[in-house]
Amino acid sequence: MRQITVTEHLILHQKKSPAATGMFTGLLHDLILAAKLITRNVSSAGLLDVLGGTGEINVQGEAVQKLDDFANRVLIHRMERSGALCMMASEEIADIIPVPSRFTRGDYVLIFDPLDGSSNIDVNINTGTIFSILRRRTPASQDPSIDDALQAGMHQVAAGYILYGPSTMLVYTTGQGVHGFTLDPSVGEFLLSHPNMQIPEQGKIYSVNEGNYLHWDNTTQNIVNYFKSKDNAIGSPYSMRYVGSLVADFHRTLLYGGIFMYPMDHRSPEKPRGKLRLLCEASPLSFVAEQAGGAATDGLKRILEIEPTSLHERVPLFIGSRNDVEVVNKFYAGAM
Ligand code: AHM
Ligand code: MG
């Protein structure tokens, strides 16, 4: 069987889209190389001295894992040399990361969560890298600024993730469908294994940390109760699955359908908030979901239309099969 490598696939798509440039293809190529380096360490997690925390607390107030830190450093080191980027932003770093002027700067901005689900590393559960690529909007003659990162998700030119699981997978979109590649470790190449991925229109799995039930508002509780009841679209309770690694939960949702939820949390009533970050988690996965025929909302608004106001802004997220996400919109609109 003829196997298409991710590089061949990128070149093919570059030819199809006049907007695509060699610079952009090179950018994705460098990102893939960084992913391979991260894979190597993640898959040796029990053997190398890479488990556990660094003793530091990141900008999100969470303990930094050694592998978080490694993945973050690999991405910054590789990508600032790609020649395609002017700036990056990472879940692990408080401010924007302009590409130093000693390197060639390009027009693109890369935002990433270097190792999503890292609290699961020590127990050998899937983690992932999530990425979002935007085109800068300030003039190339100026230094890049935070405005280049604070763009609604609908302006992304590419997005996707690398899932470090039983096998390593790359799933990405450039706005021409969603394509999945599996890393063949014997040749070190990502091979096209899931062309044109589509989320089933109607799911039968819900995915949420239900331990937070008491911290949700009534509408959110009613939404989850709906999925568990017999009086829903499929006439029987949905199954529940929750890994606790967003990339893994999203990947299952992409393949099997259903809905992943991380709703607004009212545990501190004066400051209710979602947990997941708009720019490095919700936006890129929402672009993938929509390109696969699914949907994503914060309950009131399509995620891709939210105008970000800060780099590490958090949002409630409901993402997956179109019909299931529509149920959420209807509940919040008071129509169910
Ligand atoms: P992280 O990016 O620091 O790993 O945190 C995000 C993770 C997601 O992967 C996952 O969906 C969520 O946090 C799980 O949160 P909880 O443990 O509250 O259910
Ligand atoms: Mg994360």
pLDDT band, residue 119 (cuts 50/70/90): confident
Boundary residue ending a domain (159, 194, 229)? 194
Would residue 1 count as lying in a domain? Answer: no
Is the CB of 285 inside a 6 Å radius of any atom of ligand 1? no
Return the pLDDT at 285.
98
Q: What is the number of structural domains in the chain?
A: 2
Residue 281 pLDDT exceeds 80? yes
114-118 mean pLDDT: 92
pLDDT band, residue 269 (cuts 50/70/90): confident
Residue nearest to atom 4 of ligand 1 (CA): 117
From residue 167, give the alpha-carbon distance in Å to each of 71, 164, 170, 207: 18, 7, 10, 22
25 Cα: distance to centroid of ligand 1 (angstroms): 30
- The pLDDT tens digits for 30-79 are 999 999 999 888 887 666 665 666 667 766 666 656 788 889 999 999 99
Return the pLDDT at 52.
63
Residue nearest to atom 5 of ligand 1 (CA): 117
233 Cα: distance to centroid of ligand 1 (angstroms): 28
From residue 307, give the alpha-carbon distance in Å to each of 32, 49, 332: 29, 41, 20
Return the pLDDT at 273.
85
**Atom of ligand 1 lying closest to residue 127 CA:** 9
Would residue 75 count as lying in a domain? Answer: yes
Return the pLDDT at 54.
64
Return the pLDDT at 174.
92
Do 36 and 156 lie in a common domain? yes
For residue 234, the domain's CATH number is 3.40.190.80
CA nearest to 321, candidates 215, 201, 241: 201
Do 178 and 34 lie in a common domain? yes
Q: How far apart are CA 125 and CA 166, in angstroms?
A: 9
Residue 20 pLDDT exceeds 90? no
**Atom of ligand 1 lying closest to residue 113 CA:** 2
- Structure tokens given for 293: 């025929």
Q: How far apart are CA 150 and CA 125, in angstroms?
A: 32
Do 45 and 189 lie in a common domain? yes
Do 238 and 319 lie in a common domain? yes
Would residue 62 count as lying in a domain? Answer: yes
Do 39 and 99 lie in a common domain? yes
Residue 21 pLDDT exceeds 90? no
Is the CB of 244 inside a 6 Å radius of any atom of ligand 1? yes
Boundary residue ending a domain (194, 222, 238)? 194
Do 183 and 76 lie in a common domain? yes
Do 179 and 222 lie in a common domain? no
For residue 34, the domain's CATH number is 3.30.540.10
Do 277 and 246 lie in a common domain? yes
Residue nearest to atom 18 of ligand 1 (CA): 209
Return the pLDDT at 120.
85
Q: How far apart are CA 47 and CA 12, in angstroms?
A: 39
92 Cα: distance to centroid of ligand 2 (angstroms): 10
Boundary residue ending a domain (173, 194, 215)? 194
Would residue 145 count as lying in a domain? Answer: yes
Residue 11 pLDDT exceeds 80? yes
6 Cα: distance to centroid of ligand 2 (angstroms): 25
- The pLDDT tens digits for 130-164 are 999 999 999 999 999 999 999 999 999 999 999 99
Q: Which residue has the higher pLDDT, 55 or 292?
A: 292
Would residue 10 count as lying in a domain? Answer: yes
pLDDT band, residue 1 (cuts 50/70/90): low
**Atom of ligand 1 lying closest to residue 260 CA:** 11
Is the CB of 62 inside a 6 Å radius of any atom of ligand 1? yes
Q: How far apart are CA 210 and CA 67, in angstroms?
A: 28
Is the CB of 242 inside a 6 Å radius of any atom of ligand 1? no
Return the pLDDT at 64.
59
Q: Which domain holds residue 324?
A: 205-332
Do 120 and 54 lie in a common domain? yes
CA nearest to 27, candidates 152, 176, 136: 136
292 Cα: distance to centroid of ligand 1 (angstroms): 23
Among 122, 209, 267, 319, which is best to mutate for testing ligand 1, by the most ligand atoms less than 8 A from CB?
209
Is the CB of 209 inside a 6 Å radius of any atom of ligand 1? yes
Would residue 199 count as lying in a domain? Answer: no
- The pLDDT tens digits for 158-215 are 999 999 988 999 999 999 999 999 999 998 999 999 999 999 999 999 999 999 999 9
Q: Which ligand is nearest to the CA of 130?
A: 2
Do 28 and 107 lie in a common domain? yes
From residue 287, give the alpha-carbon distance in Å to each of 83, 291, 294, 332: 25, 6, 9, 22
Do 219 and 187 lie in a common domain? no
Would residue 94 count as lying in a domain? Answer: yes
Would residue 200 count as lying in a domain? Answer: no
Return the pLDDT at 33.
93
Residue nearest to atom 16 of ligand 1 (CA): 244
Among 54, 93, 262, which is best to mutate for testing ligand 1, by the most ligand atoms less than 8 A from CB?
262
Residue nearest to atom 17 of ligand 1 (CA): 244
Give the DSSP per-residue string, 75-99. Answer: HHHHHTTSSSEEEEEETT-SS-EEP
pLDDT band, residue 271 (cuts 50/70/90): confident
Do 118 and 180 lie in a common domain? yes
